Structure 1
Amino acid sequence: MLHALVAGGGIGGLATALALANGGHRVTVLERQDVFTEVGAGVQIAPNGFHALDLLGVGAAVRERAVHVDELRLLDALTGSPLVAMPVGERYRERFGGPYAVVHRRDLHNPLLAACRESGDVELVPGAPVQRFTQDADGVGVTTADGRTFTGDLLVGADGIRSTVRAQLLDDGPLRPCGHTIYRTLVPMERVPPRLRRNAVTLWAGPGWHVVHYPVAGGEQLNLAAVLDDGATEAVAGRPTGRDTVLARFPELDPAPAELLRLGEDWREWVLCDRDPVDDWSRGRVTLMGDAAHPMLQYAAQGACQALEDAVVLGDLLEHAPAGDVTNRLEKYVEARRERAGRVQLLAREMGDMLYHPAGEEALARDAMLSPLTEDDLHDKVSWLHSTPVGHGA
């Protein structure tokens, strides 16, 4: 049995802890916040994510609160004209072995947290922000901001896009703001006019901006986000923003999404950031996962799914691993994950530029490219992304 330290008690950190505990290891999760909770709003989960959740033993619990959408829709935000819709119903589920669904982040986080609490091999330590680590041939030591120390056989940095573990491990500088500001809110579904309710992920694409919305929390709320390509360079995270400010930044919207924006009240803003893919995110007995390893923009809707894949692969590779083989197993984990995760990072950037935000001739080219695509064509295009990777969970 190994003793693993996990920095971060979000979705990725808890999934990692559960995967390692299921493999027979002892895990200590060090969470910077005073409580284990998840902030934010909606998360999209494709079949590859559900496959990972099933392997972790929490798939059924997540499905209970998930909204299984019928389609992914892309519309012109200026005219309201539909551009393309990809059905994700029965044929999609048969092909990919699972649903496409949307959840509130807490409805993904809570089942993972409950499973960790029920496990006899996971210790959850709140109020323990990891400040630095040391390692040698025999193990890893972690010091928290309040001076406590923890030791183990390995450390997994699951501490998100602003990872303290990554900063020490890779020393590769600050995040890359992509120049896009996103405004997010949740709207009680009872306030949404019935004609604007739809069991779908709906995205309205405009020149240099877009609006996306879908039901979450078992259909009780509408997750609503508006993104503007405004050249923002400050890495803002979760700053409260006034409703009038949001409305003023999207004056050209079609009446339907404009009406939805007017329903939003408790808005917060972020500046979207990512990093270039890297070839290696392990050093000795310390590795990274999820946003700490391969932070990506939201446009491929795969951030959570890729973190869940990381957790399962890491758990598989460390199962029955002796303490002396940890470094080798972590190297194999990076080898198994870097090509796929890096490809998704680059895809997310491309989708934002080519699908969501083009203007003028580029928008016309996008429309011409999308219009002839059939349901099978659309499923073929996402097959590599939404399918379970070869060897995943084997």
Structure 2
Amino acid sequence: METKPPIKAIIVGGAIAGLTLAHSLKHANIDYEVIDAYPIASPVGASIAIFQNGCMVLDQLGIYQDLRSLVHPLKTMNIRLPSGKLVAGPPAGALLEQRFGYSVCLLPRKRLIQLLYDHLEDKSKVHAGHGKRVIRVDHSVDGVEVFTEDGSSYSGDVVVGCDGIHSSVRSEMWRHADLNQPGKSLADRSAFVSEFSCLFGIAGAVPGLPPGEANIVHGKTVSFLTFIGLNGDVYFFLYMRMSERYQWPDSPRFSQEQAESLANANIGAKITEDVTFGDIWIKRRTFTLLPMEEGVLQNWHWGRFTVVGDAAHKMTVNLGQGGNGAIESAAALANALNEANLSRRGDRVSQEEIETALSNYQEFRRPRLSNIAHAAYEITRIQALEGIKPWVFLSTLYFDSTMLANLSTEQFLGTVLLNYIRRPIRLDNSLWLQDRNKPFTKSPSLQMVACVVLVLTISLVLKA
């Protein structure tokens, strides 16, 4: 029996979303090429936390065990007031590991990307670095052709934009959509806004910040997150509301001088009662200041175009689900393309079949992603102490040390797995196979909340 040629995907973007998709397509016997304007695993000074949902997919792809060997897992999440005073120190990381069988893995972003790249069997399919910036995508009923600055071109059945918030594939998708359906992209062009900025970086070990802990410091002016990873390395985040709300693509670009100025203005801020941000800043190795765009596109695809990760759904980093969401979205797209590859009628997959697959990907994935993006939106404002919600949150957490783990458990039980690869064995004895309708969160007593809100508010005023 003659074997039909596989679907071929042109993946633009060789970071977490693009390389996860490449691995996923390889397991589905779908051909691909990866294109990136920068060398793979370029040093950008960012860190990442891979939570249980990301770990599940990476385990299916045979990557989790090597990932786990690179990290010191997160065990405890310390929730603090601006004074550094501890509200609660729930063992959220340890509980999630017990429930799902996976550690929360903290590491430099480039190390994860390098790991994904190293696990690719055929690296000749990856074209990255000088000259590989995408300048144009041609689209027809027969396929797509992607052109790069160095004069190269890559042909396939579908083009996937895994190229971030400033996605060139998304711009080309909008251009073609508007040519065929004027105004089609109008709503999505205003989907991304930014209200907060984030100064993030990596620093050396700091006394008083032990590996395996995180500190989340709530504050009106600035708030902080620090993860302490392998060898005591500190992955730090300083969040601040900007003076105005920006619409993408007019988000501000910050210089290193502006980043240093922001840091120096907050060196006395408390991370714990005994450690200041200045103690971390003096040990800095890398740092960057960026706006944090937020938004989810209404349309993730058109014709043979589609987008994955930050190109489709961008959220603040406070929840730590940007990279994990990209991993899940890559899995969801791979599932849809696998179904199209197996069910196609002709030797070559038609545009109609591709469009059906991409529509299925969006319809399946977007509702869950929108809920997670909303959770990121809320936690960002909670950490900025906006309104009454932060005090309800802190009060509940004060009395229930399992709350963070419970909220995460409910979220991770909906993880999108690759449906053509066996579920990882480590999940067999986890909550994954137990009663997934059981609620993990409890409603706190209103009287208890009111009392603790009063106590914490007075405490904050006295400590200010």
Q: Which residue of 2 aligns with 1:387?
A: 413
* Cα deviations by residue, 1:328-384 (Å, 9 ceiling, x for unpaired): 212111111100111111111111112x11158665444323322242x43322223
Q: Report how far residue 264 of structure 1 moved.
A: 4.2
Q: Which residue of 1 aligns with 2:356?
A: 328
Q: Report how far residue 248 of structure 1 moved.
A: 1.0
User: Normalising to structure 2: TM-score of the pair?
Assistant: 0.76
Q: Is 1:303 paired with 2:329?
A: no
Give 1 or 2 for the bigger CA radius of gyration: 2
Q: Which residue of 1 aligns with 2:228?
A: 215
Deviates further, 44-53 or 85-94? 85-94
Q: Which residue of 1 aligns with 2:404?
A: 378
Q: Is 1:226 paired with 2:238?
A: yes
Q: Is 1:202 paired with 2:236?
A: no
Q: Which residue of 1 aligns with 2:437?
A: none
Q: Distance in 2 between matches of 1:283 and 1:306?
A: 21
Aligned-pair identity in percent equals 22
Q: Distance in 1 between matches of 2:141 and 2:387?
A: 58
AA matched with 2:67: V
Q: Which residue of 1 aligns with 2:11?
A: 6
* Cα deviations by residue, 1:263-290 (Å, 9 ceiling, x for unpaired): 2444321111122x23330112111101
Question: Mind listing any 5+ residue stretches in structure 2 that lack a counterpart?
Answer: 1-5, 175-184, 421-464
Equivalence map 1:1-394=2 (5 Å): 1-37=6-42, 39-77=44-82, 79-116=83-120, 118-119=121-122, 122-127=125-130, 128-170=132-174, 171=185, 172-173=188-189, 176-189=192-205, 192-193=206-207, 195-216=208-229, 218-219=230-231, 221-231=233-243, 233=246, 235-236=251-252, 239-241=255-257, 243=260, 245-249=262-266, 251-253=268-270, 255-265=274-284, 266-275=286-295, 277-319=296-338, 320-321=341-342, 322=344, 323-324=349-350, 325-354=353-382, 356-358=383-385, 363-375=390-402, 377-389=403-415, 392-393=418-419
Q: Distance in 2 between matches of 1:151 and 1:112?
A: 24
Q: Report how far residue 121 of structure 1 moved.
A: 7.8
- Contact 2:197-2:291 within 8 A present in 1 as well: yes
The structure with the largest strand share of the pair is: 1
Q: Distance in 2 between matches of 1:199 and 1:267?
A: 21
3-state SS of paired residue (2:38): coil
* Cα deviations by residue, 1:201-249 (Å, 9 ceiling, x for unpaired): 2111111321111124x33521122111132546345732364541214
* Cα deviations by residue, 1:183-205 (Å, 9 ceiling, x for unpaired): 1222122xx12x23242121111
User: Normalising to structure 1: TM-score of the pair?
Assistant: 0.89
Q: Report how far residue 89 of structure 1 moved.
A: 5.0
AA matched with 1:112: L
Q: Structure 1 residues 297, 91: closer, same or farther in 2, change over 3 A?
A: closer
- Contact 2:194-2:251 within 8 A present in 1 as well: no
3-state SS of paired residue (1:52): helix
Q: Distance in 1 between matches of 2:417 and 2:40?
A: 35
- Contact 2:56-2:417 within 8 A present in 1 as well: no
Q: Structure 1 residues 262, 114: closer, same or farther in 2, change over 3 A?
A: closer
- Contact 1:181-1:230 within 8 A present in 2 as well: yes
Q: Distance in 1 between matches of 2:370 and 2:386?
A: 27
Q: Distance in 2 between matches of 1:36 and 1:256?
A: 32
Deviates further, 107-116 or 45-54? 107-116
Deviates further, 324-333 or 8-17? 324-333
What is the Cα-based RMSD across aligned positions, in Å? 2.5
Q: Report how far residue 153 of structure 1 moved.
A: 0.8
Question: Mind listing any 5+ residue stretches in structure 1 that lack a counterpart?
Answer: none
Q: Distance in 2 between matches of 1:98 and 1:121?
A: 32
Q: Report how far residue 42 of structure 1 moved.
A: 1.3
Deviates further, 279-288 or 34-43? 34-43
Q: Structure 1 residues 96, 35: closer, same or farther in 2, change over 3 A?
A: closer
